[in-house]
Amino acid sequence: MPLDSAAREERALWLRLVLTPGVGAGTALSLLRAYGLPEAIFAAGTGALTRVAGAEVAARLTASDATRDTAVAAALDWAEATGRHLITLADPRYPARLLEIGDPPPLLYLAGDPAALALPALAVVGSRSCTAAGEGNARAFARSLADAGLAIVSGLALGIDAAAHRGAIDTPGGRTVAILGTGLDTVYPAEHRELARQVAARGAMVSELPLGTAPQRWNFPRRNRLIAGLSMGVLVVEAATRSGSLITARLAGEFGREVFAIPGSIHSPVARGCHALIRQGAKLVESADDVLSELRIARTRPASVAAAVEPAKAALAGATADGAALLATLGWDPAGLDELAQRTGQGTGALSETMLELELAGVVERLADGRYQRR
């Protein structure tokens, strides 16, 4: 909806504040606490601003800046399009949960429905280099949790993030929110452009970063605090021991949010982060109902689990007797052909053919190290 002249001027002042070089969220919040709205900040004068923000930032705030003016005008024009919004701390649509995190962004860029930010929400995060089993878990959990009325929050990244968004979209009426580590006019990774469009149609795409901000690694931890802050809790599906998902989980704990983790095989590198979280006190979950119970959210309708379960059952039913027997021998931990040959007494050539059958049926996956794991 086009902004009227008063609203445009009000947002121009907020944009001028946050787009001034050197003014981060912390400095902007200090200025807002000291002087009130941006109009009062810019009316305070260089001397008064120096006492709060220092001489260099005060001079930048009050000086002319053609580059900043161009960026302000571009953001205002961007917000004229349908479904685009600039949401400031003074806006009643600003999400209340973000006010609890200590350094809430003074301004959010949003594409989609601002009402999605007020819904009870759960973050679902995990490894970009996830296993097929982890991707399936993320999608199934997100589908079931969205079916129970939770908005699913994630970061639009490859792997678990994308699966979580898709799980919410799978559910009729499911809602999802993507927090970006780029400007909202940049989709990263580029192959998620269609997914971004679907998220905006079924929830919201959100960023605190100015339009035109390209992917930069230091912006993603900053993005993670918003994922944690916007949510009632964080569910980590798969994560290595050094993972951005663990940063999100740590921040969630600092913000007083619940932290959940799905356990995995002791042999899986992407399970170790989840196991570390569980040792540190994260709640081990095996089903979406475990999460709902901790959050004290009651289902208003039965969970939609058939879509997740039936394809696997059908695939397994279609396997040969040799395939079913080998699947039972494999168990739930990864194993290579040599190890399976020792267990079964069969040759690796025959086992390879049977494993290919199971892989094509979708009930096992081949890991990067050549071992096989049950899905």
Give per-residue pLDDT as tens, 68-105.
999 999 999 999 999 999 999 999 999 999 999 989 99
Residue 294 reports pLDDT greater than 90: yes
As a whole number of angstroms, the distance between CA 77 and CA 147 comes to 36
pTM of the model: 0.83
- 148-180 pLDDT, tens digit per residue, is 999 999 999 999 999 999 999 999 999 999 999
- Weakest-pLDDT range from 4-8, 194-198, 268-272: 4-8
Give the whole-angstrom CA distance, residue 76 versus residue 78: 5
Query: What band does 312 get if pLDDT is binned at 50, 70 and 90?
Result: very low
| 82's tokens | 């349908």
Cα separation, 190 vs 172, in Å, equals 26
pLDDT at 307: 38
Q: What is the mean pLDDT of residues 188-213?
A: 97
Query: In this predicted structure, what is the pLDDT of residue 93?
Result: 96
| pLDDT for 226 | 97
> Has residue 363 got a pLDDT over 90?
no
Q: Torsion angle of alpha carbons 230, 232, 238, 243, nearest 10°?
A: 50
Domains in the chain, ordered, with CATH?
1-77 (1.10.150), 114-304 (3.40.50.450), 307-374 (1.10.10.10)
Residue 355 pLDDT > 90: no
Strands of 193-345, DSSP E: 203-207, 233-236, 258-261, 283-284
Q: What is the pLDDT of residues 13-37, one digit of tens each?
A: 999 999 999 998 999 999 999 999 9
**% the chain with pLDDT above 90:** 70
Q: In the prediction, which pLDDT does 112 show?
A: 98
